[in-house]
Amino acid sequence: MQENKFRKTVILVDADYADGVAFDLTVNFERMLMRRIPKADLAHWLVCLSLDGGLQAGENEVQVLMIYRKTTLSNFQPGDLLQDVDGKAFRDPNLGEFEMKALCDEQLTGEDMFCEVLRTLLSAEEVERVVLVPDMERSGVELKHLLAGQRKKDITLLSMQPETGRGFQSEILGYSLMQALGIRSDELMKV
Protein backbone atom coordinates (compact mmCIF):
# COMPACT_ATOMS: atom_id res chain seq x y z
CA MET A 1 0.00 0.00 0.00
CA GLN A 2 2.92 2.38 0.64
CA GLU A 3 3.80 2.56 -3.06
CA ASN A 4 0.24 3.45 -4.11
CA LYS A 5 -0.57 6.99 -5.14
CA PHE A 6 -3.45 8.36 -3.12
CA ARG A 7 -5.90 11.09 -4.08
CA LYS A 8 -6.37 14.33 -2.15
CA THR A 9 -9.64 12.99 -0.76
CA VAL A 10 -9.89 9.43 0.56
CA ILE A 11 -12.94 7.71 2.04
CA LEU A 12 -11.99 4.78 4.29
CA VAL A 13 -14.87 2.45 5.17
CA ASP A 14 -15.20 -0.62 7.38
CA ALA A 15 -17.52 -2.29 4.88
CA ASP A 16 -18.83 -4.99 7.24
CA TYR A 17 -19.72 -2.39 9.85
CA ALA A 18 -21.47 -0.14 7.31
CA ASP A 19 -23.44 -3.15 6.01
CA GLY A 20 -24.56 -4.00 9.56
CA VAL A 21 -25.71 -0.43 10.21
CA ALA A 22 -27.61 -0.40 6.90
CA PHE A 23 -29.34 -3.65 7.96
CA ASP A 24 -30.32 -2.20 11.36
CA LEU A 25 -31.70 0.96 9.76
CA THR A 26 -33.62 -1.06 7.17
CA VAL A 27 -35.29 -3.28 9.78
CA ASN A 28 -36.20 -0.36 12.05
CA PHE A 29 -37.49 1.95 9.32
CA GLU A 30 -39.49 -0.79 7.58
CA ARG A 31 -41.40 -1.23 10.84
CA MET A 32 -41.74 2.48 11.45
CA LEU A 33 -42.72 3.51 7.91
CA MET A 34 -44.61 0.29 7.15
CA ARG A 35 -43.00 -0.06 3.73
CA ARG A 36 -40.18 -2.02 2.18
CA ILE A 37 -36.81 -0.24 2.26
CA PRO A 38 -34.63 -0.99 -0.80
CA LYS A 39 -30.92 -1.72 -0.58
CA ALA A 40 -28.76 1.33 -0.11
CA ASP A 41 -27.39 2.89 -3.29
CA LEU A 42 -23.63 2.57 -2.75
CA ALA A 43 -22.64 5.37 -5.14
CA HIS A 44 -25.20 7.76 -3.66
CA TRP A 45 -23.99 6.93 -0.15
CA LEU A 46 -20.35 7.61 -1.09
CA VAL A 47 -21.36 10.99 -2.53
CA CYS A 48 -23.21 11.79 0.73
CA LEU A 49 -20.13 10.76 2.75
CA SER A 50 -17.90 13.05 0.72
CA LEU A 51 -20.30 15.95 1.30
CA ASP A 52 -20.38 15.18 5.04
CA GLY A 53 -16.59 15.30 4.88
CA GLY A 54 -16.65 18.81 3.44
CA LEU A 55 -15.88 18.11 -0.22
CA GLN A 56 -16.91 21.01 -2.44
CA ALA A 57 -18.33 20.86 -5.98
CA GLY A 58 -15.73 20.58 -8.72
CA GLU A 59 -13.61 18.14 -10.67
CA ASN A 60 -12.48 16.16 -7.65
CA GLU A 61 -10.88 12.74 -7.63
CA VAL A 62 -12.05 10.74 -4.62
CA GLN A 63 -10.51 7.42 -3.65
CA VAL A 64 -12.73 4.98 -1.75
CA LEU A 65 -11.06 2.18 0.23
CA MET A 66 -13.42 -0.51 1.52
CA ILE A 67 -11.90 -2.76 4.22
CA TYR A 68 -13.79 -6.05 4.35
CA ARG A 69 -13.99 -9.44 5.98
CA LYS A 70 -17.05 -10.59 3.99
CA THR A 71 -16.96 -10.08 0.22
CA THR A 72 -20.67 -9.29 -0.05
CA LEU A 73 -22.54 -6.26 1.21
CA SER A 74 -26.05 -7.66 1.69
CA ASN A 75 -27.70 -4.27 2.22
CA PHE A 76 -26.08 -2.24 -0.58
CA GLN A 77 -26.48 -2.16 -4.34
CA PRO A 78 -24.05 -3.07 -5.83
CA GLY A 79 -23.00 -5.45 -3.10
CA ASP A 80 -20.30 -7.77 -4.44
CA LEU A 81 -17.08 -6.10 -3.34
CA LEU A 82 -14.83 -8.16 -5.60
CA GLN A 83 -16.87 -8.12 -8.82
CA ASP A 84 -18.87 -4.89 -8.63
CA VAL A 85 -16.78 -2.54 -6.49
CA ASP A 86 -13.04 -3.34 -6.53
CA GLY A 87 -11.30 -1.47 -9.35
CA LYS A 88 -14.49 0.27 -10.48
CA ALA A 89 -15.23 3.98 -10.65
CA PHE A 90 -18.20 6.27 -11.14
CA ARG A 91 -18.64 9.96 -11.87
CA ASP A 92 -20.85 12.32 -9.94
CA PRO A 93 -21.80 15.35 -12.08
CA ASN A 94 -21.14 17.79 -9.21
CA LEU A 95 -18.22 16.25 -7.33
CA GLY A 96 -16.15 14.39 -9.92
CA GLU A 97 -14.78 10.85 -10.08
CA PHE A 98 -14.91 8.23 -7.34
CA GLU A 99 -12.57 5.27 -7.73
CA MET A 100 -13.17 2.27 -5.48
CA LYS A 101 -10.86 -0.37 -4.05
CA ALA A 102 -11.76 -3.32 -1.78
CA LEU A 103 -9.03 -4.38 0.65
CA CYS A 104 -8.76 -7.52 2.77
CA ASP A 105 -5.74 -8.80 4.61
CA GLU A 106 -5.86 -12.39 5.78
CA GLN A 107 -3.05 -11.74 8.27
CA LEU A 108 -4.77 -8.92 10.16
CA THR A 109 -8.15 -8.53 11.78
CA GLY A 110 -10.47 -6.00 10.17
CA GLU A 111 -9.89 -3.37 12.83
CA ASP A 112 -6.11 -3.75 12.60
CA MET A 113 -6.32 -3.38 8.83
CA PHE A 114 -8.47 -0.26 9.19
CA CYS A 115 -5.98 1.43 11.54
CA GLU A 116 -3.01 0.30 9.46
CA VAL A 117 -4.51 1.87 6.32
CA LEU A 118 -5.34 5.01 8.30
CA ARG A 119 -1.70 5.26 9.47
CA THR A 120 -0.60 5.11 5.84
CA LEU A 121 -3.11 7.79 4.81
CA LEU A 122 -2.05 10.10 7.64
CA SER A 123 1.58 9.89 6.54
CA ALA A 124 0.83 10.32 2.80
CA GLU A 125 1.75 13.87 1.73
CA GLU A 126 -0.78 13.96 -1.12
CA VAL A 127 -3.80 13.16 1.10
CA GLU A 128 -5.53 16.30 2.38
CA ARG A 129 -8.99 15.06 3.39
CA VAL A 130 -9.97 11.71 4.93
CA VAL A 131 -13.53 10.58 5.59
CA LEU A 132 -13.71 7.63 8.00
CA VAL A 133 -16.48 5.09 8.61
CA PRO A 134 -14.97 2.82 11.29
CA ASP A 135 -16.49 0.34 13.70
CA MET A 136 -15.84 2.42 16.81
CA GLU A 137 -16.48 -0.51 19.16
CA ARG A 138 -13.65 -2.46 17.56
CA SER A 139 -11.09 0.17 16.64
CA GLY A 140 -12.25 3.39 18.30
CA VAL A 141 -9.59 3.63 21.00
CA GLU A 142 -6.65 3.09 18.64
CA LEU A 143 -8.25 5.24 15.95
CA LYS A 144 -8.76 8.21 18.30
CA HIS A 145 -5.17 7.82 19.49
CA LEU A 146 -3.94 7.98 15.87
CA LEU A 147 -6.07 11.02 15.06
CA ALA A 148 -5.18 12.95 18.22
CA GLY A 149 -1.60 13.42 17.05
CA GLN A 150 -2.33 14.56 13.51
CA ARG A 151 -2.77 18.22 12.59
CA LYS A 152 -2.28 18.40 8.82
CA LYS A 153 -5.32 16.59 7.42
CA ASP A 154 -9.00 17.45 7.35
CA ILE A 155 -10.51 14.35 9.02
CA THR A 156 -14.22 13.57 9.34
CA LEU A 157 -15.30 10.58 11.42
CA LEU A 158 -18.80 9.22 10.81
CA SER A 159 -20.40 7.03 13.45
CA MET A 160 -23.85 6.39 14.85
CA GLN A 161 -23.06 8.40 18.01
CA PRO A 162 -21.37 11.80 18.15
CA GLU A 163 -17.68 11.26 18.89
CA THR A 164 -15.38 13.59 20.78
CA GLY A 165 -11.64 13.84 20.52
CA ARG A 166 -8.82 15.78 18.87
CA GLY A 167 -7.75 15.79 15.26
CA PHE A 168 -11.15 15.15 13.67
CA GLN A 169 -14.70 16.39 13.33
CA SER A 170 -17.63 14.08 14.01
CA GLU A 171 -20.73 13.54 11.86
CA ILE A 172 -23.65 11.12 12.24
CA LEU A 173 -23.43 8.11 9.90
CA GLY A 174 -27.17 7.39 9.96
CA TYR A 175 -28.08 10.49 7.95
CA SER A 176 -26.07 9.54 4.86
CA LEU A 177 -27.25 5.92 5.07
CA MET A 178 -30.89 6.98 5.40
CA GLN A 179 -30.45 9.10 2.26
CA ALA A 180 -28.91 6.15 0.37
CA LEU A 181 -31.74 3.87 1.56
CA GLY A 182 -34.33 6.26 0.15
CA ILE A 183 -35.75 7.31 3.52
CA ARG A 184 -37.07 10.86 3.20
CA SER A 185 -37.42 13.37 6.01
CA ASP A 186 -41.04 14.14 5.04
CA GLU A 187 -41.90 10.48 5.70
CA LEU A 188 -40.48 10.73 9.19
CA MET A 189 -42.57 13.82 9.93
CA LYS A 190 -45.74 11.76 9.34
CA VAL A 191 -44.81 8.99 11.76
Pair type for strands 40-41 and 89-92: unpaired
Nearest alpha-carbon partner for 114 in 69, 168, 174: 69
Which residue stretches of the chain have pLDDT < 50? 1-2
pLDDT score at 112? 80
d(C-alpha 80, C-alpha 75), whole Å:
11
Q: Where are the beta strands (DSSP E) in the chain?
A: 9-14, 40-41, 60-67, 76-77, 89-92, 96-103, 129-133, 154-159, 169-172
pLDDT of residue 58: 96
Among 130, 114, 124, which Cα is nearest to 167's? 130
Tens digits of residue pLDDT in 64-96: 999 999 999 999 999 999 999 999 999 999 999
DSSP 133-171: E--HHHHHHHHHHHHHT--SSEEEEEESS----SS-EEE
pLDDT number for residue 109: 61
Cα separation, 27 vs 37, in Å, equals: 8
The pTM assigned to this predicted structure is 0.93
Beta bridge partner(s), residue 60: 96
Residue 56: phi and psi, rounded to 5, are -100, 160
**How many CA atoms does the CB half-sphere of 165 hold within 13 Å?**
24
Cis peptide before 93 (omega within 30 of 0): no
The amino acid sitting at 91 is: R
- The phi, psi pair for 124, rounded to 5°, reads -80, 120
Segment 94-115, tens digit of pLDDT = 999 999 999 986 666 656 899 9
Q: What pLDDT is stored for residue 158 in this prediction?
A: 98
| pLDDT for position 2 | 44
Q: Are 81 and 68 spatial neighbours (Cβ–Cβ below 8 Å)?
A: yes
- At 174 the pLDDT is 95
